[in-house]
Amino acid sequence: MTAPAPPRVTEAAPVIAGEGLVKHYPAPRRAADILRGHRPVLRAVEGVTLALRPGAAFGIVGESGCGKTTTARMLLRLEEPTAGRVLFGDQDVTRLEGAALRPFRAAVQLVFQNPFDAINPRFTIRRALTEPLRNLGIPTAEHADRVAAAMARVRLTPADAYLDRYPHELSGGQLQRAVLARALVPGPRAIVADEPVSMLDVSVRAGVLNLLREARDALGLAALYISHDLALIRYVCETTAVMYLGSVVEDGPTAEIVAAPAHPYTRALVAAVPVPRVDQSRAPLPILGGLPDSRRDARGCVFRARCPMAVPRCAEEAPPLRPIAPGRRAACHFA
């Protein structure tokens, strides 16, 4: 996987958008918190805004614990945001419940990380693919055609050779293709792929990623990829947001971020990616320690505790995510 995704410019209205998404979880209270009457929270996501447009791929990259999966779960309405809203077209789906959410559920589908956990081991592949159609109220007469089309799209053909098998009878790559087929069966307008190939052998990863790209191009899908792997994001996404400790620290065209990272954290991520090129600097950027406590003080820059460039101003004033070039933003006083 060496070739980056081709540039794609789209001004179409977003299929789905998150505006100012915030997610806080109650944290265990320590003795000092009880004495002060303080109720600490884990700041999982802080004010993330993004938009998924038809035919375009958006990536969120960052190390474990940065909030990227929580952001995706809020977009899917699998987590309720503490603040902010999710828009499906011009409809605020954070206010919808029950049957009113059914069109949204059909239109935005998830590709799971682990294919072995994604399908009930007691279901045949046929039942796994028709189950969402029944749940979404799609007429039974359409099921066979939809399943056949989805299986052909992911190149599990002839379909009859796979549909009556159980998950344990398929390889990891075949099972992940079946998971992708299940996501495509309802006819979605957007897909969210959370680490879609991390559980697969290296030899089959590129094939699955190419199937995702082909489905996106052919069907005009909006796509969101979640990964800690910057090389994967570079391969499939035109636009990327870099997250650290719940906040977006840099976003913009993926190729530009990789070629000239503006934020110190992004520079460290890029320096950690092994590539066979000698014309790109790979001087490591020293990062101090590990991720700080998510119960951190909300003041200042989220990266200041690990940043070799930090100055006293960084502890007092949080840098805004501001434009630094056309289409690019970074949250750093020195960007």
Class of domain 16-330: alpha beta
pLDDT tens digit sequence for 250-268: 999 999 999 999 999 999 8
Q: Output 287 or 330, whichever has higher pLDDT.
A: 330
Q: At residue 182, does pLDDT exceed 60?
A: yes
Q: Where are the domains of the chain?
A: 16-330
**CA 296 to the chain's CA centroid:** 24
pLDDT tens digit sequence for 203-250: 888 899 999 999 999 999 999 999 988 889 999 999 999 999 999 999
Please name every residue paired with 242 in a beta bridge, in sequence order, or none if there are none: 61, 250
Q: At residue 291, does pLDDT exceed 70?
A: no
Question: Residues of the chain with pLDDT > 90: what percent?
Answer: 63
Contacts of residue 90, Cβ cutoff 8 Å, sequence gap at least 6: none
Q: How many degrees, rounded to 5, is the angle at CA 227 between CA 60 and CA 4?
A: 80
Q: What's the confidence (pLDDT) of residue 4? A: 46
For 133-172, the DSSP string reads HHHTT--GGGHHHHHHHHHHHTT--SGGGTTTS-GGGS-H
Is residue 5 within 8 A of residue 213, CB to CB? The reply is yes
* Single pTM value for the model: 0.88
pLDDT tens digit sequence for 87-140: 999 899 998 888 889 999 999 999 988 888 999 999 999 999 999 999 999 999
Structure tokens belonging to residue 192? 């969210």
Please name every residue paired with 116 in a beta bridge, in sequence order, or none if there are none: none
State how far the Cα of 264 lies from the Cα of 311, in Å rounded to an integer: 13
